[in-house]
Structure 1
Amino acid sequence: MLSALIATPAAWSATLGRGLLSGIGLTVGVMAGTQVAVLAGAGPWFPVAAPALWAVAPGTVPPAALALTFAIPTLFGALTLWSWSRLQLDR
């Protein structure tokens, strides 16, 4: 469930880019950044990586880090809704 919620930045990017390619590009970039963060040791505190790391080894991710994951869908969901309210579809 948490992994599905962290897909909201792709929705915002697709809205701003007016197509699917920008959302796909952002997702690839976020996944590359996530891999770097995990290899650097900041994985449990990187909100995109925390749900997957928790699924693999629940003892390695503190509850506060998992709670931080909810900031992503909240922020990017609000940005997506705000962008949708400002869309001009007649261009």
Structure 2
Amino acid sequence: MSATAKQLPTWEQMPDLDKGAALLHLHKIGWEGRSYAREHYPARYIDHPALTSLDHKAACDHAEGLFKGGVEEADETLGLAEFDRLYDLALDHERATP
């Protein structure tokens, strides 16, 4: 693990908006494929300074590393209600931000 990766927050340490941002990216991978999602819908972290400072590649790597089984694992782990709450929180923020 790199020094940078050691400094990044774990899922439990992430603010809800950033959790939702990671889920948005994972969801796009599930729908559009990894390559397309990374190019057009990278993880766009919102709140945690260590995450917002990442470039697109590093942000995507971090988001994808949170749930190795992708969006399906995230949904199973979090449950539908929590998944939807976090996803919608980030989506609403993204839509409200010009």
TM-score (norm 2): 0.34
TM-score (norm 1): 0.35
Q: Which structure: larger Rg?
A: 1
